[in-house]
Amino acid sequence: MPTGSCLCQAIRYEYKAEPIAKALCHCVTCRKISSGSTVNVMVPRDHFHITSGSPKVFTITHETGMKLSMYFCENCGITIYKTADSEELKGNAIILAGTLDDSEAFSHLNPEVEFFTKDRASWLPKLQNAEQKVEFK
């Protein structure tokens, strides 16, 4: 079962489902969260569990208009996962894959889709074999 944590390990999690999606996102919000594109693993929210600690939450209106909540550690500031109210993302935990404990599992994620390719940095090549989406749809 995959596990992960924030940088200081005050908040830990696990999930017990196969990912619904593995994606690389280039949207402006993800860039501001991570200083670059984010690698995300999406799992059903009811299969994602915080096992220690209690993340803080910050909700914004994403550039698409959906409400996006970011759950982060108040000690080290690392965003662990996100939730959204859009029809496509509702009911899921969008885990920032960089928080996974297993480096080998991270290196074998192979994102299946790239979102917001319109915002991808010009110096960043597109992923081979990944579906390319201008936005989420």
Position 136 pLDDT exceeds 80? no
Question: Quick one: which of 73, 131, 59, 68 has its CA closest to 94?
Answer: 68
Measured between alpha carbons, how far is 92 from 19 in angstroms, rounded to an integer?
10
Q: Could you report the per-residue pLDDT of 79-109, keeping only the tens digit for each?
A: 999 999 998 899 999 999 999 999 888 888 8
Q: Could you report the per-residue pLDDT of 1-56, keeping only the tens digit for each?
A: 899 999 999 999 999 988 999 999 999 999 999 888 999 999 999 999 999 999 99
Give the per-residue pLDDT at 109: 85
pLDDT (average), residues 72-81: 97
| Residue 127: both structure tokens together | 């992923």
The per-residue b/e assignment along 41-70, b for 16 or more CB within 10 angstroms, e otherwise, is: bbbebeebeeeebebeeeeeebeeebebeb
Enumerate domains of the chain plus CATH numbers. Answer: 3-117 (2.170.150.70)
Neighbours of 7 (CB within 10 A): 14
